[in-house]
Structure 1
Amino acid sequence: MSDINLYTTEKPIKLILKVAGNGCNIDCSYCFEKNKKNSHGIMSATFLKDLLSKIDSQVSIVFHGGEPLLIGIKKMDELLQVVSESYADKVIAVKVQTNGILISEEWIQLLFYKYVNLHIEIAISLDGTNEMNSLRVNKQGKSTYEKVIETYRLLDKHNIKAGMLSVISRNSLTVIKEYIKLLQSINNLSFVKLNPLFNLKDNKLAENSISPSEYANFVLEIAKVYIQNRLYEKIAIEPILSMIQKINGRVSRYCNYSTCKCFEFISVYPDGTLGPCDSFSAEEFLITVDDNSLENSILNALRQVNANKLKQLLSSCEECDIKDFCMSGCLSQRYYFESNSDLSEDYCISKKILYEFAKGYMI
């Protein structure tokens, strides 16, 4: 099995900048971020500059949320100026993950014209069709679907491509063809990532959440239509791309299927709170940065009890027949499933479902 690490100093750090904390301008019913106790403040340029000075390795940056554009154009300009000063020696990539509601001509001028040298990539959260997207509503409880579609069209006018992150809920399971049709209709779509809704309440799947096997079967049905329609010639869909890569012995850049996991991604909040991948609660995996380099601070955090639990999850995969395909999956999902043996077992079953499908595309 390829060596899988929670963190390695040999790869760039991926900074997930929660520049507006977990503040957001919409009210998704399933949002994990809004339940966190972190600050709703705004990240300062001084804080970001200081943080970058404590990093020895190269980094990629994602402006994330909550909703990152809530900080406003002036504050974002200040942050991008700091990033620009370190590009491309230290900062090697810049991305924005947004719900798309606030994107305007003014934002486009800032992100893609004033800072054209940063080659900023953008991805928008859209769960799919209006029906699939029904859990993503504004503060008045109204649909965000049409506004997001308008944002794709606005970006397209400027020849700007955008990705799509879709949360797959129970609303998604029966509208496969409609979802593919939507993807085909967005001219400037660059990639798609299918994220399962695995929220728990009282140690059981919460309302609108789906089981790992249901998610796997959804992915398979999407893959069949995706391949049949040759949509792969236009866009990549994760995890389908990684499934085909891994079954053919290739390297995947998607963390679920890669050798480097949760602490390669560092979530940064305006109040100075740092943690690993934002699928975790930072409070459970706190990274303390004083005068140490961030790299040393991450290594210290890996000695915590909860980090040892993640290492145990990795160790539990050693004897698995599909370990080189699955690569231990998403550790945050498995971590929160640990107290529910049925969900933990179903998670592994879901990976075997995906493996059996991918075998048919072995070259």
Structure 2
Amino acid sequence: MRGANPFVEWIVKVAQPCNLACDHCYVYELLDRTWRHKPAVMANGTADQLARRIAEHARRHALSRVRVTLHGGEPLMAGRSRIEHLLKVLREELRGTAVCDISVQSNVTLLNPSWMDLFHRHGVSVGVSLDGGREANDRHRRAKNGRSSYDSVQRGLELLRRPENKALFAGLLCTVDLANPPLDVFEDLLAHEPPAINFLLPHATWEHPPPGHDPNRTPYANWLLEVFERWYTAPRQETRIRLFEDLMDLALGGHVRSESTGLADTDFLVVESDGTIELADSLKATRDGGPATGLDIFAQDFDSVARHPVVADARRGGLAALADVCRGCEVVRLCGGGLRAHRFSPLTGFANPSVYCADLRVLTTHIRDRVVADATALLGSAS
């Protein structure tokens, strides 16, 4: 894979269906409809081939560690036996080659002690999708019959927070909704004692802007900055917030490999339940088949995938991948031009600033100035 970084993470769609009907879901509620034609769950033979391909890639690039995230839909709908088969074959194929960090991103409404026993045996951490307290969460994350999902999520989280299970709690993923007061959301999330929280901007494009989009008032930056100040000024660290930590690292000269910040190449792929290979799920916001590559794990190894023009173009970082207006921006090294999907317009493709450009400028400038000033003051006091 000449001139390119290897892949180190695979997001695996072990189940296509979901037992909830979240109206902001980026899998089912955006423009992409290709999920309708994919098998409901990943077959064991597909899992076997995936594990072989990952191990082959790890050996070829001398990778000492790789990551696999079980995803969906709701991944627990694949069933324990099918998930265990995948976990076993990943361990077997990678034994002696690379450590495999495995996680599952779930709504935890189906989580029970049997699942936790399986996850303990295979060292699987659990990330939970949750948008805040009952009112905030139920604004979008409801069951298919329209009823609240909150009590079911609470039960799953209580199980995950038990002393014997807490080490497997990876954290919370929260989609920002301007209708939910930011500090209320943050306090409600903190009540679950998560080791980490990640905030996700609603996936949107210039054709379909996010709710409340207003470049003059930057509501998404304002929402996030209320949380940032509460988190940053706390007398002790209550949790990690990846978005803020990544921006702080970049502001202080660090190097961050992230899809949504910085200028590094992306290093992950999505593998669907039928073995087809796709780009980031966020591209489902752009058009039907937006993440599709036309490639699959049976016909191509991951080095061939990396060389494919569609994949190479989509994962390319650096200033050359951005619109002209972004290249001279003072905060481009921090925001990286924003998520690729958020730059999309039907007329000009991805050659645009992010639909969140104004918000990202305010957010990154504030965090940069705050952190650099504090670091300078600390260094001055120490000299």
Which bracket does the TM-score occupy, shorter chain normalised? 0.7 to 0.9
Residues 261 and 355 from structure 1, CA distance in 2 versus in 1: closer, same or farther, beyond 3 angstroms? same
* SS of equivalent residue, structure 2 residue 12: strand
Rounded Cα–Cα distance in structure 1 between residues aligned with 2:144 and 2:230: 35
Q: Residue 160 of structure 2 aligns with which residue?
A: 155
Identity of aligned residues (%): 21
Q: Are residues 1:37 and 2:34 paired? A: yes
Q: Give 3-state SS (helix, strand or coil) of 2:253's partner.
A: coil
The aligned residue for residue 271 of structure 1 is 274
SS in structure 2 at match of 1:25: coil
Q: 1:320 to 1:258 in 2, by over 3 A?
A: closer
Structure 2 gaps, min length 5: 376-383
2:289 maps to which residue? 283
1:78–1:295 distance in 2 versus 1, CA, 3 Å? same
Match of 2:361 in 1: 352
Aligned to 1:4: none
- 2:209 is aligned to 205
Task: Give the drift of 1:302.
Answer: 3.1
CA distance in 1, matches of 2:207, 2:300: 38
How far apart are 1:321 and its partner, in Å? 1.9
Letter in 2 for 1:10: N
Q: CA 1:132/1:256 → structure 2, altered by over 3 Å: closer, same or farther?
A: same
Instruction: Say whether 1:63 aligns with 2:74.
Output: no
Shift in alpha-carbon separation, 1:336–1:87, aligned structure 2, 3 A: farther
The secondary structure found in structure 1 opposite 2:135 is coil
- Give CA deviations for 1:128-177 in whole Å, capped at 9, x if unaligned: 122221210011111112221222211111242231000112322xx222
The change in CA–CA distance for 1:162 and 1:345 in structure 2 (over 3 A counts) is closer
Q: State how far apart, in whole Å, the 2-side matches of 1:90 and 1:336 are.
A: 40
Give SS of 2:174's match: strand
- Find the aligned partners of 1:204 and 1:251 in 2 and give their Cα distance: 32
Q: Any unmatched runs of 5+ in structure 1?
A: 1-6
Which residue of structure 1 aligns with residue 21 of structure 2?
27
Provide the secondary structure at the position in 1 that maps to 2:248.
helix
1:3 aligned residue: none
Provide the secondary structure at the position in 2 that maps to 1:252: coil
Q: Which amino acid aligns with 2:243?
A: P
Contact 2:203 2:341 in 1 (8 A): no
Deviations 1:35-69 (A, max 9, x none): 53221421122212213323423431000011100
So what's the TM-score if we normalise by structure 2? 0.80
Q: 1:98 is matched with which residue: 85, 106, 115?
A: 106
Structure 2 matches for 1:30-179, cutoff 5 A?
Answer: 30-35=24-29, 36-38=33-35, 39-54=38-53, 55-57=56-58, 58=63, 59-87=66-94, 89-90=97-98, 92-112=100-120, 114-115=121-122, 119-133=123-137, 134-157=139-162, 158-160=164-166, 161-172=169-180, 175-179=181-185
Task: Tell me whether 1:319 sits opposite 2:323 in the alignment.
Answer: no
**Stretch deviating more after TM superposition (213-222 or 280-289):** 280-289
Q: TM-score, normalised by structure 1?
A: 0.84
CA contact (8 A) 1:18 1:267 kept: yes
Moved more, 277-286 or 297-306: 297-306
Distance 1:307 1:237, change over 3 A: closer
Matched, 1:183 2:192: no
